[in-house]
Amino acid sequence: YYKDKGEEKVWNVPRIIKITDSFGNVFDNIDDKGMHYTIHNIPQTVRSGDTYTVWIEVDSSFLQNEYDIKWRTDKQLSENDNKFQLTYKFANQDISEHMYISCKIISHKEWHKYQSYDSEICLHFQVLPPIE
């Protein structure tokens, strides 16, 4: 997108280029034309008690010590910062039509593409109650 506009050097920031998850989903060639890349309602059914793992791949032209990785859910920050994967166990507090997990890439530069970060993915889930 930015290369087509001739702006690839203006926004030379680390960004997420691929997402893989424990359900076998692969989202590659991530194109963050807007504020972030959103995947609405992962196609697999998720229930409280299920465990989910997601891996990100960051543009390899940037060294890992040039940026931070920040994970969070809509309820809490994660302890997986600066890791390329997050494993999350859904709990009753996550039961919702629209629960999310997000990951932000934040370069160590003094400026950022989106004011406080450079790339973000946001994964939305419908989390159902456990089967009783």
- pLDDT score at 6: 59
- pLDDT score at 8: 56
- pLDDT score at 40: 67
- pLDDT score at 132: 79
Determine how β-strand 51-58 pairs with β-strand 37-39: unpaired
Per-residue b or e along 88-107, where b marks 16 or more CB atoms closer than 10 Å to that residue's CB: bebeeebbeeebbbbbbbbb
- pLDDT score at 12: 82
> Using the 8-state DSSP alphabet, how is residue 65 labeled?
G
Q: Which residue ranges of the chain lie beneath pLDDT 70?
A: 1-10, 29-37, 40-41, 77-78
Which tens digit of pLDDT belongs to each residue from 40-72?
667 788 999 999 999 999 999 999 999 999 999
- pLDDT score at 41: 63
Question: What pTM was computed for the model?
Answer: 0.83
Q: How many CB atoms lie within 10 A of CB 24?
A: 7
- pLDDT score at 91: 93
